[in-house]
Structure 1
Amino acid sequence: MRSIGELARDSGLGVSALRFYDRTGVLVPARVDPVSGYRWYGSAQLEEARLLARLRRAGMPLADVRLVLAGWSGTDGDLVRELLQAHLRRLEADLSDARVEFSTLQGLLARRENTMTPSRITIRLTTSARALAAALDAVRFAAGTDPELPMLGGVLFDFEGETLHVVATDRYRMAVARAETTGHGGPPAQVIVPAPLVDAMRALLNREGPVRLDVDGDRATLETGDGQASGRCLDHAFPDYRRLVHLPTGSRALVDATTFRTALENGPVRTSEAREHGAASHDLSVLKVAHDGSVVICDDGDDDQNHIAVNREFLLDALAAAGGDQVILEFGVPTAPIAIRLPGDQATFSILMPVRLDH
């Protein structure tokens, strides 16, 4: 017999997924301890669990998965073969439809770009070293590293009046911060500063006093009393981050950052399944807001569907970037992002996408 943890490890399915498949009758354990409720699986169920993991990674609907498993256990090869072929035909049809839609979208995008001729950007402004350093520290952790998405491989500098917003995102998390400036009287403008240049700029900001930031066309330059960092900006468009930060209302919890960080580091975790091709699994912390307003890290036996699972490493990064003694955690519905803010500062925050425990 295998415990649920052992089956999860050997099959590639997460513990929470195995519980889900038990509740839905897809893969029922051979025995459940009547006292503890702990699930135990027979040796033959390892093959079924591995098959189930492959079918779900291939996107097969749960109703068809049931039939495949039934045919597999009953050695009905014809039924299994027909179900696999039917699903493959659906995938091919869906891919063909997707290609048509993407081709249409690319044509629309090309026509839209042809009607837009951006003017050359010229910006000269001054800000304080401390303000710019704090803003970059608050967002740098969220910059993307995926070579397939080069537009996310830096920090957006969004100039609007006397305000500079800096933004970074890798799709799964986003961070926004603000620094006040003087000297920019032109229209709103945006440039994406690549991550290496951001790091070079940040290295010059360990000082007091004003610094000068210039953008001339595709080149950004930071000048301080200690030196200069200059380089080309990324030739890409950045997502409209303002549309991504309007979160549904929900619960707010004020937590002690040090205490909460320690609880995360030492508390229970669950291992996510890699749902994207080539993606690695990662540790999840499952959170809930208790009746007294505190945030609790749930143990492995707490399966309330209203709890929110997040990538633990991402949450620890966000807490470190916030840098305050206390932080506010904002929770919406379990499928909505979590926001991390400092008390009294609505302009600097990060948001994390939740992770589904069941699929």
Structure 2
Amino acid sequence: MRSIGETARDSGLGVSALRFYDRAGVLVPAWVDPVSGYRWYEPEQLPEARLLARLRRAGMPLADIRLVLASWSGADTDLVRKLLKTHLCRLEQGLSDARGEFSALRALLDQRENAMTLLSIATARVSVAAPELAAALDAVRFAASTDPELPMLGGVLLDIEGESLHVVATDRYRMAVAQAGTSGHDGTRVQVIVPTPLADAMRALLGGEGPVRLSVDGDRVELETDGRQAAGQCLAHDFPDYRRLLPRTTGRRTVVEVPAFREALRAGPVRPGEGGAHDLSLLRVADGGTVALCAEGAEDPDRVAVNREFLLDALTAGARDRLILELGAPTAPIAIRRPDDEGAFSVLMPVRLED
């Protein structure tokens, strides 16, 4: 008999996928321990599991997968061939439709770009307290993207409006927002994307307690403090409208003691990510409002899976011994806030579990 872990490893199916296909009656284990509920498979089921993994990777609907598996061992393979051909035609038609939609979207983008008039060069000169700006940069730096395919996310957004400066970074899977007070600006909104190396150089200058001068002149940004400067070109891209990505308060808020929670994450149960991705921690709000870590085999519809490394980074960037954790539905973003400054927070996208 093979354990569910061994079957998952040798077939290419995740443990959660095997549980799902068991519940669906597609690949039922040979024996289930009546006490622990642990699933065991016969060696003869491994080829079937590998076939199932191939069909799953090809995106075949569950109903068709069921028929393929039921017909695979028979002498007449006509049904299997027909199902495979039908699904391939479905994929090709879907790709053709997607290409048509993308072509239409590119045409719309071209129209927008052609219709845009040259915008006036934005300028701003503000004064901001060095500790506030340093704390804001520290709070968001971990979320900046390193993906060369998304250069518009490879920096830190400085969003100046009125008497506030919002500092934002995102890599699509996580986003961090912080703010600092400013003075000396007329209120017109000015946004620039500072490349991460320049943002790091600016942060290195912010060791004092007094105000520093932040200047934006078109595509150039400069930070000046105590006769020292860090200046350079901004990224010539548009940053996503982060305000549309802000999380809604879910009502499932709990305060976590960061040192203890961080240690629990490091030592607690994890679930290996699909395809060798980062380990996942499975979270849920337990009775009494505390956050609990779910074991791998726990069947909890409200559990939320999150990249453990990303969560540890967000806890560190929160720079507090106590933080507010907001958990919603398993597909809703996770928010980490400071109790004394909810304008500074991180958002982590959950990882969808295949079960």
What's the TM-score once normalised by structure 1's chain length? 0.94
Report Cα offsets for 1:35-56 as digits up to 9, x if no partner. Answer: 2221111223222223322322
Which of residues 322, 347, 351 is equivalent to 2:347? 351
Q: Provide the residue aligned with 2:254 in structure 1.
A: 253
Question: How far apart in 2 are the matches of 1:92 and 1:323?
Answer: 50
Contact 2:272 2:279 in 1 (8 A): yes
CA distance in 2 between partners of 1:75 and 1:170 (Å)? 51
1:228 aligns with 2:224: no
| CA–CA separation in structure 2 for the residues paired with 1:160 and 1:209 | 21
Question: Are 2:321 and 1:321 equivalent residues in the alignment?
Answer: no
| Residue pairs, 1:179-194, within 5 angstroms | 179-194=180-195
Task: Find the residue that maps to 2:166 and give its secondary structure.
Answer: strand
The residue that corresponds to 2:68 in the other structure is: 68
Match status 1:51 vs 2:47: no
CA contact (8 A) 2:163 2:187 kept: no
Q: How much has 1:168 moved relative to structure 2? A: 1.0
Distance 1:31 1:24 in 2: 16
SS of match in other structure, 2:274: coil
Question: Does the 8 Å contact 1:123/1:186 carry over to 2?
Answer: no
Give me the whole-angstrom Cα distance separating, in 2, the residues matched to 1:227 and 1:52: 63
Gaps of 5+ in 1: 275-279
Query: Per-residue deviation at 1:10?
Result: 2.2
The alignment-based identity, stated in percent, is: 69
Q: 1:301 deviation in Å?
A: 2.3
CA contact (8 A) 1:18 1:27 kept: yes
Whole-Å Cα distance in 2 between the matches of residues 211 and 38 of structure 1? Answer: 61
**Given the alignment of the two structures, is residue 33 of structure 1 paired with residue 33 of structure 2, yes or no?**
yes
| Equivalences for residues 264-279 of structure 1 within 5 A | 264-274=265-275
Letter aligned with residue 247 of structure 1: R
**How far, CA to CA, are the matches of 1:134 and 1:123 in structure 2?**
21
Cα contact 2:249–2:326 (8 A) shared by 1:
no
- Aligned residues of 1:197 and 1:229 also touching (Cα < 8 A): yes
Deviation at 1:344, TM superposition (A): 2.6
For residue 79 of structure 2, what is the aligned residue in structure 1? 79
Query: Is 2:247–2:335's contact at 8 Å kept on the other side of the alignment?
Result: no
Match of 2:277 among 260, 277, 281: 281
Name the structure 2 match of 1:174: 175
What's the CA shift string for 1:44-90, capped at 9, x where partnerless?
32222233223222222222222222233436543333222221211
One-letter code aligned to 1:245: L
Measured at CA, do residues 357 and 208 of structure 1 come closer, stay the same or move farther in structure 2, by a change above 3 Å? same
TM superposition shift of 1:22: 1.0
Distance (whole Å) between structure 1 residues aligned to residue 75 and residue 261 of structure 2: 52
Instruction: Confirm or deny: 8 A CA contact 1:14 1:272 kept in the other structure.
Output: no
Amino acid at match of 1:254: V
Q: 1:18 to 1:75 in 2, by over 3 A?
A: farther
Contact 1:142–1:169 under 8 Å retained in 2: yes
Per the alignment, residue 277 of structure 1 pairs with none
State the distance in 1 between where 2:22 and 2:335 align.
33
Task: Please state if 1:296 is matched with 2:292.
Answer: yes
Q: Contact 1:261/1:316 (CA < 8 Å) preserved in 2?
A: yes
User: 2 CA distance for matches of 1:247 and 1:54?
Assistant: 39
CA distance in 1, matches of 2:172, 2:101: 22
Residue 248 of structure 1 and its aligned partner are, at CA, apart by: 5.3
Distance 1:327 1:286 in 2: 18
Structure 1 residue identity aligned to 2:105 = L
Once residues 97 and 129 of structure 1 are traced to their aligned partners in structure 2, the CA distance between those partners, rounded to angstroms, is 53
Indicate how the Cα distance of structure 1 residues 240 and 44 shifts in structure 2: closer, same or farther if over 3 A, else same.
Answer: same
8 Å contact 1:288–1:298 — kept in the other structure? yes
Q: Unpaired segments of 5 or more residues in structure 2?
A: none
Corresponding residue number in structure 1 for 2:333:
337
- Following superposition, the deviation at residue 186 of structure 1 comes to 4.7
Q: Distance in 2 between matches of 1:281 and 1:75?
A: 40
Tell me the secondary structure at the aligned position of residue 83 of structure 2: helix
**Counterpart amino acid of 1:258?**
P
TM-score when scaled to structure 2? 0.95
Deviation at 1:305, TM superposition (A): 1.2
SS in 1 for 2:25: coil
Match of 2:142 in 1: 141
> Counterpart of 1:215 in 2: which secondary structure?
strand
Amino acid at match of 1:90: R
Distance 1:281 1:73 in 2: 34
